[in-house]
Structures are given as structure tokens and as C-alpha cells.
Amino acid sequence: MKELQRQINPKYKVSGSLAFFLICSIQIGVGVLGFQTSIVERVGNDSWIPVLLAGLMIHFLIWMIYKILKFGNGDLITIHYDVFGRWIGGLFSFVWIIYFWTIGVIVLRTYLQVIQVWMFQEINIIVVTLIFSLLLYYLITGGFRVVVGVCFLGTVIPSYLIFSLFYTMDYTNFKRLLPVWNHSTTDILLATQEMTFSFIGFTVLLMYYPYLKKANKTKLWGHGGNFLTLCLYIIIMVFSLAYYTKGHLLRQKWPTLTMWKSIELPFVERFEYIGISSWALIILPNICLAFWAASRGARQLFRFSQRKALIIMLSLNLLANYLIKTQKEIETINKLLSQFAFYLFLIYIPFLFIFSYLRLGRRKQHD
Amino acid sequence: MIKKWISLLLILLLLTGCLKKNILDDVRLVTAIGYDPINTEELKITTVVPLFRSDQSTSSETHTDIANITTEGNKKMDNMSSKPFVKGKLEVILYNKKLAEKGLLPIIDLLVRDPSIGTRAFLAISDEEVNQLLSGQYSSQDNGMYIADMINQNIELGLTPKMNLHLWLNGFYAEGSDPYAPIINTYNQNVKITGIALFKDDKMVSDLPSDSLFTFKTLVQPKTKRGIFTAELDNKEVVAIYKVNGKRTIKVKNIEQSPTIKVDIKLYGIIKEFSGEVVNDKIMHQIEKSIEDKIKTQASEMISQFQELNIDPVGFGEEIRSKSRSWNQQQWNDKYPDCEITVNVDVTITETGIVN
């Protein structure tokens, strides 16, 4: 039985500026490939507005999370323990661990689906998941500093993909974005909800906060990371709206990928092959951080070795990837997860904010 | 440490490719697919595959079969072929006119659904039997590449508007515009663009002759770059201008009730050839006037033809949609045929070549 760890040995901590990459690397993932459709379905040419609103909402939530962490001075599990006590706090922590784990599973499965549909129809899901699992085991057992390294590289290396957008400018017509705001505010707010899945994952901050040096001084970096994600989503949304007519976009499952179909380079006929392969590097930090957070949470909650927790989680991941077979199942799980995350963001985080203020924040002020 | 290395080595073992590979020499790269109607249900599907000869020349090989949908046809072709057909390099999709008039929707699905087909491929219509057209030998390239390069060259030179699969689909799915595609036919042992096919939804309803291609281009494209145009003056002299640059703006008045649309086309060009002698100010003015008149008449005739057929390749509907706050596709479709659309052309000759 291990101790609930409240302080991290300084030699395992990472520089505060890396919070930037930790936030944006987990937000940018499979969502980028196909986030447009469900939003455009509701608000058409105004689709960039929900993206902006959702991004600003997340900024607000990140502010709130930093406050919670300042009150609690620990990670999510210790805060739950301090605020709600052993059993209720433990229950909440358990739900969060499952939530982190599900993010890892669904990101991997959605990526494998993209590979299945676009490149290799005959790919063996089990074998690929196994390879990924071994890689994840290797990275996560290397410690948090290795995970941060993956996040950094997973953001920097694939960043050249943004230039692919310039190739689509042959066909873009930015007039398609006009007239601005011709949909009802209700529709725009409802569409904002659809963006949840794209920004999912930043809540992992609740787990790695103690690992940041001078953690409470990293706010600006955290917000910066989210701002980068927001800009990226807006740019891609604006280009998609200009590239497709509305009806055409709605036919696409992955509008970003279909945009690559019109790119022709002298050395490669289908750009998607480069893009999708590079995407493995983009989703690696996603999965890595999600599983790290889940296993770290399990270590804190059940007080046994993180390595064992990770092995159990990766095996369950293998099982889940095996059981999820059809596109419909993937979509359903994605939808359920993003709905769950929506309520988590909108109700649970403010709830935790208020409680941790009452139980921990006020006490501190009295001291 | 040793454990770590062993596990790394094991990972390497897993990385050997277990998937089916498509090596270039072992597949047939389809560069063009053509469709002819047989009867109400069945299609005659023709695929063109380049045949690389040892003396470095290329010719094309065509395969034909009869089927309901493309994949079924390909399956039948695969049955008698030593190598599988793959569509990753598809450049041209050619439809017989009769097929296009019945509607392309059932056969276009493959092009939208299949991830291996690029959206830069050209979609074209032919008056002739497509099988015949694709079986001919026209150049040292295979027919798919040849036709694609030919259409592409015409677009690059500014003789036709930009057209490809992506733009066709964009027009087809749009609320306020309709798609168009080039018509190609054989001409003196070659293949030539002989006009433009106009679509209402997925059905071809009319076509434009090749001599109005430039006017059509200036109408549908917001920006014109390059292009050659010839016109006749009142005194029977003929003039050709080239490097025509310009832009088209659409202005709409009274947008919510009964819109009146004004199309302004501004063009700048250089005189390439003139059958008369010296170009002085007076003649220059005449030249500009005659070009303006010719484009204006052609454009106005074209637009009234569009309104009569209730098709909108120019995208007036899109223009209205992007400006109106109460856009309704149904209402616009009803209004469009009676909409007042005027065309204004302004031509400026910037240079006269190296002589006056």
C-alpha cells in the first residue's frame, strides 16, 4: 500500500512553459479531421462562431481549474479526498479515471477507423493496438518527463501539415462565409456544444499540475496552449467553409481529409497518405497523456503501483478496441463521451470550484 | 535494461508489413473510366490503362464490360485480368451525353465514396460513344493522361473556366448554383473541347458551343486570368486580344423582394493581332467597343438561356445567399426565371504589341 502523494520530488518536475504543449497537444487530435460536419449542419456559414465561443468557454474553464488547483494544492484525487472525503471523493475520482481512460481508447479507435477507411482496409486492429500499447507502456513507464517530451514533439513535428491548407486555396471562396450571424443564437449555442469533443482532454491538467515547476505561475502558458488550439480550429473551419459548399461539406465524414484529396504534389499522388501517417504523431500525445492521467489517478486512488494500473488499463484498451467493430459504435461512443464531457465541463467543474473554495480556499484565507 | 532491449526487438518484429501491398508493376493503374448506356439499367464501362513499352513510349489499353455499377464492371474485368485494377491515378471520368441527360447521380457515387479517387480528376461529357473515343490512339501518352493534360492545358491558358470533380460536386450540392462540365469529342485524330455541358442537379439539360467558352468563363469566374478573345469590327476587320485579365462583380438591388442583378465585367487585354493596319485612338475605341458588344450580347443571351432552363451555373443564388438575411432556396428558385439581370462590359486595351 502506497501513500497518497501530495508533493512531487523536484527532480521529476518539468518546466512550467511546457504547460503550453501539454494543453494543446491533447486537444488537437482526431477531432480536427471531422469536427466540421455536426456544426455546419446546425449553423452553416456561421460555423466559425461556435468554434470561437467554445474556445473562450474553455479559457474560462482553464481559469477555473487553475483556481481549484490553487485551493487544493495537489491533484484531482487529493482534492477530491480533501473536499468530499474518502468514499464520495473516491467515487468521483473513479469516474474521472474512467473518463480519462475512455478518451485514450476512443481516440485510438477513431484513428484506427480512419486508417481502415482511408488507407488499409484490411488492417488488423488487434495487432496495431498491441503495437501502440507496447509503445504507450514504454513511454508512460518512462515517467512524466517522457510523456511531456512526446507532447512537445507531437505538436512540433506535425506542424508542417498546416501548410497543406495553402494548396486548397485554388478552390476557396471566402464569400461563402457571408452573411455573418444569420442563424439564431440558440442554434449557435447548441452548435457550441458540438465542439466539446474537439477541445476534450485539457482537464488532464487536473492530474499533472503538481508536476509543473512553480505550477501556479504557468497559467499564461496553459491559456496560450488553448489559444493555439482555438486558432487552429478556426482556421480549419474557415477554410472548410470556403472550400466546400454547404451541401457538399455535409456529405463528408472527414472534411479535413477530403480537402487533402485535391492536393497534388510532384512526388506523391495522394496527400492523405502523408497526412494520415503524420497524424499518428498527433494522436500519440493524446493517448499517452490520457492513459498517463488514468493510471496516475488509479495509483493515487487505490494506492498501488502505477505500472500495474497501466498494464490493466492497456489490456482493457485492447479488449475495448477489439469489441468496438462498426463505425456506428464508434460514433455512438464518441457522442456519449462528448455529451458526458459537456456536462462535466459545464456542471461538475464549477461545482468542484465552489466546493473547493468553500472547503479549502476559505480555510487558507483564515490561516 | 536487457528486458527493455528485448521488448524493443520484439516491437521491430511486429513492424513487418502484413498488409496487402499494391506494387506499381503488379497493378493496372486506371487513368480514365468511361460510361455508355446499354439499356435502361446496364452500362458499358470502359477503363483505360497505360501500357508502358520497352522503347519508352506509352499507349493505352482499354477494357470493356457491361454492368450495373462500376465496381461490378471492375470485378468482371478483374476476373479476366492478370493484375488487379486500381483507381488511385484516375484522371478522367467520361460520360456519354445520353447518360448525362438521364442523370449522373447513380454513377457518381463511387467518385464521392471511394477514398482512393482524387478530386482533381476531370469529369467530362462526350456526344460520341465513349468506348470509341477512349479506344483511339491520339498521342504518345495513354488516353487518360492525354485527355487530362488537354483539359488542364485549356484551363491554364484561360480558354475554359476551371472545372474538375471537386468543383462539379460543389456546384451539385450547392443551394444556389448548378454544376457544369466540359464536352469533349474527337476532332481530326485528336480530342477537343467542343463546349460546356450545363446541368440541372445531376441531369445535363443544355450545352454551350465552344465559341462562347471565354464569355462563359468571364461570367462564372470572379477573376479572369489569361485568355484569348477575337472580335469583328463594323468594317469587317478582325482583332484578337490576349492576356485578358479582369474581374467580374455582381451587384444586387432590392435583395429581399424582387432582386435585380447587375453583372459588371471589367477586362484588360493586349492586342495580339489585327487584320487592319495602324491602331490609332479611333480604331482602338472601335476595337474596345466591338469586344464589349460581343461579350455583352453573348453573356446576355447565355443568361436568358439559363433563366429559361432555370439553371444557375454562374451562382447568382450563392451571391444572393451571401448577401440576404432571409435566404430561402425554394423562393429563389421561383423568382430566378423572372429576375432582371443586366450585363455591363468594360474593356480596356492596355498595349498594342511592339507596333502601333
Kindly report, residue by residue over B65-122, the tens digit of the pLDDT. 888 877 787 788 877 777 888 888 889 999 999 989 988 888 888 888 888 888 889 9
Mean pLDDT of chain A: 89
Q: Into which CATH architecture does domain B222-356 fall?
A: 2-Layer Sandwich (3.30)
The one-letter amino acid at B222: P
Residue B309, amino acid: L
Q: What is the pLDDT of residue B136?
A: 86
Residue B332 — pLDDT band, cuts 50, 70, 90?
confident
Q: Which of A23-27, A87-91, B69-73, B322-326 has the lowest mean pLDDT?
A: B69-73
CA A51 from centre of chain: 15
Compare CB distances from A123 to B8, B19, B162 and report the shortest one's residue. B19
Task: Tell whether B324 is within 8 A of chain A (Cβ).
Answer: yes
User: What pLDDT is recorded for position B13?
Assistant: 67
- Which domains are assigned to chain A? 10-356 (1.20.1740.10)
What mean pLDDT do residues B142-162 have?
90
Search chain B and give the residue with CA nearest A129. Answer: B14
Please tell me if residue B31 touches chain A, with a CB cutoff of 8 Å. no
Summarize pLDDT for B275-304 with one digit per residue, the tens: 887 778 888 888 888 889 999 999 999 999
User: Of A255, A338, A253, A247, which Cα lies nearest the Cα of A45?
Assistant: A247
Statement: residue A340 has pLDDT above 70? yes
Report the length, in residues, of chain B: 356
Using the beta-carbon criterion (under 8 Å), do A117 and B116 form an inter-chain contact?
no
Do residues B274 and B237 touch, judged by C-beta distance below 8 A?
A: yes
pLDDT in tens, B3-40: 888 887 777 666 655 667 777 778 888 899 999 988 88
Task: Say if the Cβ atoms of A176 and B318 lie within 8 Å.
Answer: yes
User: B174 — contact with chain A (CB < 8 Å)?
Assistant: yes
Task: Using DSSP bridges, classify how beta strands B260-274 and B238-253 pair: parallel, antiparallel or unpaired.
Answer: antiparallel
- Is the ipTM higher than 0.90? The answer is no
Task: Tell me if A212 sits within 8 A of A13, measured CB to CB.
Answer: yes
Q: Quick count: other Cβ atoms within 10 Å of Cβ A11? A: 6
CB A144 within 8 A of CB A211: yes
pLDDT of amino acid A367:
52
pLDDT at A295 over 90: yes
Per-position DSSP letters for B126-183, written without gaps between them: ESS-HHHHHHS--SSS-HHHHHHHHHHHHHHTTSS----HHHHHHHHH-SS---EEEE
pLDDT for B24 equals 74
B15 vs A: CB within 8 A: yes
User: What per-residue confidence (pLDDT) applies to B275?
Assistant: 86
Per-residue pLDDT, averaged over A61-84, amounts to: 89
What pLDDT sits at residue A332? 92
Contact list in B for residue A45 (CB cut-off 8 A) is 322
